[in-house]
Amino acid sequence: MNRTTLSLIAGTTALAAVTGFAALTAPDASGGDTTTEAAVQLPVQRTSLLCPQPSTSDVAETAYTSFTPVTEGTGGDGSAELAAAGGKSAGKKEQAGKEDKKEDKAVVEPKEPGKPVTNSVDGAESPALIGTAEGKFAPGWTVQETTEVAAGTGRGLLGVNCSAPDTEFWFPGTSTAADRTDYVHLTNPDDSAAVVDIELYGKDGALKSTAGEGITVQPRSSEPVLLSTLATAKAADLTVHVSVRSGRVAAAVQSLDDKLGGDWLAAAADPAGSVVLPGIPKDATSVRLVVFTPGDTDADLKVRLASPSGPITPAGNETLHVKAGMTASADLGDITRGEAGSLLLTPTDEAIPVVAALRVVRGKGDNQETAFIPATRPVGTRATAAHNTAKGTTLALTAPTRTAEVKVTASAGSGAGEPTTKTFTIKAGTTQNIAMPAPTGLKGTYALTVEPVSGGPVHASRTLESKLETLSAFTIQPLQDDRGTVAVPEANQDLSVLQR
Does one domain contain both 78 and 189? yes
Does one domain contain both 39 and 98? no
- Cα–Cα distance measured from residue 388 to residue 186, given in angstroms and rounded to the nearest whole number: 26
Structural domain of 135: 46-265
Give me the pLDDT at residue 381, please: 95
Does one domain contain both 37 and 173? no
Give me the pLDDT at residue 75, please: 85
Q: Are 42 and 486 in contact (CB under 8 A)?
A: yes
- Cα–Cα distance measured from residue 399 to residue 397, given in angstroms and rounded to the nearest whole number: 7
State which of 229, 246, 265 marks the end of a domain: 265
Give me the pLDDT at residue 500, please: 52
Give me the pLDDT at residue 149, please: 95
Q: Are 208 and 177 in contact (CB under 8 A)?
A: no
Residue 5, judged by CB atoms within 10 A of its CB (0-12, 13-18, 19+), counts as middle
Give me the pLDDT at residue 56, please: 93
Do the strands 369-374 and 180-188 form a parallel or antiparallel pair, or are they unpaired? unpaired
Is 152 a member of any domain? yes
Does one domain contain both 11 and 39? yes
Does one domain contain both 81 and 229? yes
Exposure of 483 in the CB half-sphere (CA atoms within 13 A): 17
State the amino acid at position 128 in one-letter form.
A
- Cα–Cα distance measured from residue 207 to residue 226, given in angstroms and rounded to the nearest whole number: 15
Does one domain contain both 87 and 12? no
C-alpha pair distances (Å), 423 with each of 156, 292, 308, 408, 452: 33, 36, 17, 6, 9
Give me the pLDDT at residue 453, please: 97
0.95 exceeded by pTM: no
- Cα–Cα distance measured from residue 391 to residue 162, given in angstroms and rounded to the nearest whole number: 23
Does one domain contain both 10 and 136? no
Give me the pLDDT at residue 209, please: 85
Does one domain contain both 20 and 167? no
Give me the pLDDT at residue 12, please: 41
State which of 205, 233, 265 marks the end of a domain: 265
- Cα–Cα distance measured from residue 398 to residue 400, given in angstroms and rounded to the nearest whole number: 6
Give me the pLDDT at residue 496, please: 59
Please report which helix (H) or strand (E) contains residue 447, including its range. Answer: strand 446-455
- Cα–Cα distance measured from residue 444 to residue 95, given in angstroms and rounded to the nearest whole number: 9
Q: Which residues lie closer than 8 Å to 87 by C-beta, 6 or more apart?
A: none
Q: What is the pLDDT along the chain (500 residues), one digit of tens a residue?
A: 443 443 433 444 343 444 443 333 333 433 444 444 567 888 999 999 999 999 999 999 999 999 999 998 888 899 999 999 975 444 444 343 433 444 456 788 899 999 999 999 999 888 999 999 999 999 999 999 999 999 999 999 999 999 999 999 999 999 999 999 999 999 999 999 999 999 999 999 999 888 999 999 999 999 999 999 999 889 999 999 999 999 999 999 999 999 999 999 999 999 999 999 999 999 999 999 999 999 999 999 999 999 999 999 999 999 999 999 999 999 999 999 999 999 999 999 999 999 999 999 999 998 999 999 999 999 999 999 999 999 999 999 999 999 999 999 999 999 999 999 999 999 999 999 998 999 999 999 999 999 999 999 999 999 999 999 889 999 999 999 998 888 887 666 665 555 55
- Angle at the Cα of 21 (from 271 to 249), degrees rounded to 5? 60
Does one domain contain both 63 and 17? no
Give me the pLDDT at residue 404, please: 98
